[in-house]
Chains A and B, each alone.
Chain A
């Protein structure tokens, strides 16, 4: 026996006497087993107040942008297990909002609502109804999410419930021990900047394997148009480092060449993201790089800015204000899609995956082509198990003809409150 174990033997009584200071919080209780309920629901009340600081000299800022906004909303989720094989899930929200001194308006939306069948051993899963498809491995950018229109921006606006809205679809999933096939057929595309995509059905086939590397190959097709392909990859490199990558190749470009000529080229475009995250005990650090061939090259961007300048003059000089406002509106629609140039970096620092009273999330997105950037800081406080709040500050910075410099806001401050029923 080594001296070490002899010492352990000696100090064991001390250790156990020290344990008496560790009061047993369970005394004689047993855990109430949370049996599965046939019907479950939860509701999330949310409210925020936001102030935007606008750049009045900015090229797009001839439109009357909101400086103050307040929202009160309620999201309701219902989950009903009909039996062991069938379930119905539905989620929707209603919110009332007030911009500046305008009267209160409201909106509501069904986010998801589907019936799902799962075979006894979960080998077959079939869903029909409205459901969100999320296949990308990227966190900030998601090139493999090919369904249109794709609207997912957790790093711009976490309170925007619209981004949880799914597509009306039929999904068939067949699982094997280490792989799966998924086939999705979705209803006609209703909204897209590209007029050619509107009113066409969309389909996708995905083949996935999991562990040690998650790899998915996706083939996506819009009715009567050429197919697009995507590949996703994520892998654990060490106990602390994870790697993720997405690459997609689409025939049609996501952006038009000109604000005047709303035409989308179809020469074939690559979009790829590569990222790493590093886990420290209790917090993590992540980095992503995006290469986007859909984005504008320098000469294309300069041409777009010239058009925007001209639209601005049309309004200021009163030569053709209708055309000017239309072109500025088009530019803002493009900016809403994001990643208008080709090279981007994302960096984030967060402890929000851990359940604790005070959480933070700090992130940046940098346009490496024009050196403009977006900075975001959030602080969350979990006051009780039901009530929490979030303070958020955003800053958009860059030259007046750079992507993030063109955003009408220079700074945004928001305080949000949440209550879970």
Chain B
């Protein structure tokens, strides 16, 4: 009887210690920190390689500048899209196509990069757009964090992250759900790299669970803090790049 009581007590202690540890961690801050610098403007480069079931590969390269909720994406390659620029401010997005002075408003749901959505390549702020709904500690000590979008019309209404057991609990995998509850994307965080002493996401694999065999590799690199002004993220600036 005494033995059983001790077991129960120890089990409760382990669970409480796990949940205390889980509660103490600012998960949104961890998720934001791996995709940039929250306290200043910054830039980074991305190479996307989209792969189709027949093995056909398409590659593009982008340069992204971020300041708070504003992102400016410059298309570097392939040659036929070089010079295109995408501006995002909150949910508003504008696209400039070279050889015109026309800047057109595009919807967030519009894909401009094949399999990669606009939301995947721009700066992400989970702190501003999502809240933690539930945290669970898994048997292997990894942590599952459920995020729900603050804004009901967000592209990903719910995201389920699996974070590594080890500090600093970097994301290992995430599942992205639409408002209807459909799983629309699975992301595998394959590699991190240190920039300015901080771990940043370096390689990401996006798998399309709806269309079998479709996946995209994303290589993030050259994270760099930069002094940026809000005027650099003006709609007029797109046609001046």
**Interface extent on A, as a size class?**
35 or more
Tell which of A34, A134, A175 touches B63, judged by Cβ atoms closer than 8 Å: A34
Given known pairs A12-B162, A22-B207, A355-B114, the reply for A139 and B45 (CB within 8 Å) is no
Q: How far is the CA of A188 from the CA of B235 in the complex (A)?
A: 29
A354 touches B114 (CB 8 A): yes
B208 vs chain A, min Cβ distance (A): 11
Tell which of B83, B101, B230 touches A133, judged by Cβ atoms closer than 8 Å: B101
A111 vs chain B, min Cβ distance (A): 9
Q: How far is the CA of A44 from the CA of B80 in the complex (A)?
A: 10
Point out the residues of chain A lying under 8 angstroms from B173, CB to CB: 12, 15
Point out the residues of chain B lying under 8 angstroms from A121, CB to CB: 229, 231-232
Point out the residues of chain B lying under 8 angstroms from A12, CB to CB: 162, 173
A314 vs chain B, min Cβ distance (A): 42
Q: How far is the CA of A277 from the CA of B109 in the complex (A)?
A: 12
Q: Mark A119-137, 1 if CB is under 8 A from B, else 0.
A: 0011101000001111001
Q: How far is the CA of A132 from the CA of B99 in the complex (A)?
A: 10
Point out the residues of chain A lying under 8 angstroms from B125, CB to CB: none
B24: Cβ under 8 A from any A Cβ: no
A122 touches B231 (CB 8 A): yes
Q: Mark A2-25, 1 if CB is under 8 A from B, else 0.
A: 100110110010011001001011
Q: How far is the CA of A218 from the CA of B230 in the complex (A)?
A: 23
Point out the residues of chain A lying under 8 angstroms from B144, CB to CB: 5, 8
A177: Cβ under 8 A from any B Cβ: yes
B45 touches A240 (CB 8 A): no
Name the residue among A22, A134, A240 with the largest chain B CB count within 10 angstroms: A22
Given known pairs A12-B173, A236-B107, the reply for A34 and B45 (CB within 8 Å) is yes
A277 vs chain B, min Cβ distance (A): 7
Point out the residues of chain A lying under 8 angstroms from B190, CB to CB: 19, 24
Name the residue among A19, A139, A241, A386 with the largest chain B CB count within 10 angstroms: A19
Q: Mark B77-102, 1 if CB is under 8 A from A, else 0.
A: 11111110000011111010001111
Tell which of A131, A180, A386 touches B80, judged by Cβ atoms closer than 8 Å: A386
B153: Cβ under 8 A from any A Cβ: yes
Given known pairs A25-B57, A31-B219, A211-B89, the reply for A385 and B234 (CB within 8 Å) is no
Q: Whose C-beta in chain B lies nearest to the C-beta of A421?
A: B79
Tell which of A24, A133, A234, A240 touches B105, judged by Cβ atoms closer than 8 Å: A234
B120: Cβ under 8 A from any A Cβ: no
Point out the residues of chain A lying under 8 angstroms from B236, CB to CB: 125, 173, 175, 180, 182, 208
B30: Cβ under 8 A from any A Cβ: no
Point out the residues of chain B lying under 8 angstroms from A82, CB to CB: none
B90 touches A212 (CB 8 A): yes
Q: Whose C-beta in chain B lies nearest to the C-beta of A30?
A: B221
Q: Mark B15-58, 1 if CB is under 8 A from A, else 0.
A: 00000000000000000000000000000011101010000011
B73: Cβ under 8 A from any A Cβ: no
Q: Mark B219-241, 1 if CB is under 8 A from A, else 0.
A: 10110000001111011110110
A239: Cβ under 8 A from any B Cβ: yes
Point out the residues of chain A lying under 8 angstroms from B154, CB to CB: 239
A9 touches B232 (CB 8 A): no
B207 vs chain A, min Cβ distance (A): 7
Point out the residues of chain A lying under 8 angstroms from B221, CB to CB: 30-31, 33
A242 touches B107 (CB 8 A): yes
B132: Cβ under 8 A from any A Cβ: no
Given known pairs A9-B138, A214-B105, A239-B108, the reply for A355 and B78 (CB within 8 Å) is yes
Tell which of A77, A139, A277, A386 touches B79, judged by Cβ atoms closer than 8 Å: A386
Q: How far is the CA of A132 from the CA of B96 in the complex (A)?
A: 14
Point out the residues of chain A lying under 8 angstroms from B215, CB to CB: 22
Point out the residues of chain A lying under 8 angstroms from B101, CB to CB: 131-134
B237 touches A122 (CB 8 A): yes
A280 vs chain B, min Cβ distance (A): 8
Name the residue among A139, A173, A385 with the largest chain B CB count within 10 angstroms: A385
Tell which of B111, B114, B162, B240 touches A116, judged by Cβ atoms closer than 8 Å: B240
B158 vs chain A, min Cβ distance (A): 12
Point out the residues of chain B lying under 8 angstroms from A132, CB to CB: 100-101
B217 touches A33 (CB 8 A): no
Per the 8 Å Cβ criterion, residues 15-68 of A in contact with B are 15-16, 19, 22, 24-26, 29-31, 33-34, 42, 44
A102: Cβ under 8 A from any B Cβ: no
Tell which of B47, B80, B222, B229 touches A385, judged by Cβ atoms closer than 8 Å: B80
Given known pairs A15-B173, A31-B221, the reply for A420 and B111 (CB within 8 Å) is no
B187 vs chain A, min Cβ distance (A): 11
Q: Mark A256-287, 1 if CB is under 8 A from B, else 0.
A: 00000000000000000000011111101000
Point out the residues of chain B lying under 8 angstroms from A123, CB to CB: 229, 231
A125 touches B240 (CB 8 A): yes
B105 touches A281 (CB 8 A): no
B14: Cβ under 8 A from any A Cβ: no
A90: Cβ under 8 A from any B Cβ: no
Point out the residues of chain A lying under 8 angstroms from B47, CB to CB: 26, 31
B230 touches A177 (CB 8 A): yes
A225: Cβ under 8 A from any B Cβ: no
Name the residue among B60, B90, B106 with the largest chain A CB count within 10 angstroms: B106
A332: Cβ under 8 A from any B Cβ: no
A19 touches B205 (CB 8 A): yes
A72: Cβ under 8 A from any B Cβ: no
Q: How far is the CA of A277 from the CA of B77 in the complex (A)?
A: 27
Point out the residues of chain B lying under 8 angstroms from A177, CB to CB: 230-231
Given known pairs A22-B217, A25-B57, A175-B236, the reply for A281 and B92 (CB within 8 Å) is no
Q: Mark A314-348, 1 if CB is under 8 A from B, else 0.
A: 00000000000000000000000000000000000
Knowing that A123-B231, A177-B231 touch, tell me 4 more A-B residue pairs with CB under 8 angstroms.
A8-B162, A279-B109, A353-B112, A355-B112
The 10 lowest CB-CB distance pairs between A and B, nearest first, are A385-B78, A279-B110, A134-B101, A121-B229, A279-B107, A122-B231, A31-B221, A175-B231, A240-B109, A385-B79
**Could you list 7 examples of A-B contacts with CB < 8 Å?**
A31-B222, A122-B232, A208-B236, A239-B107, A239-B108, A354-B111, A388-B80
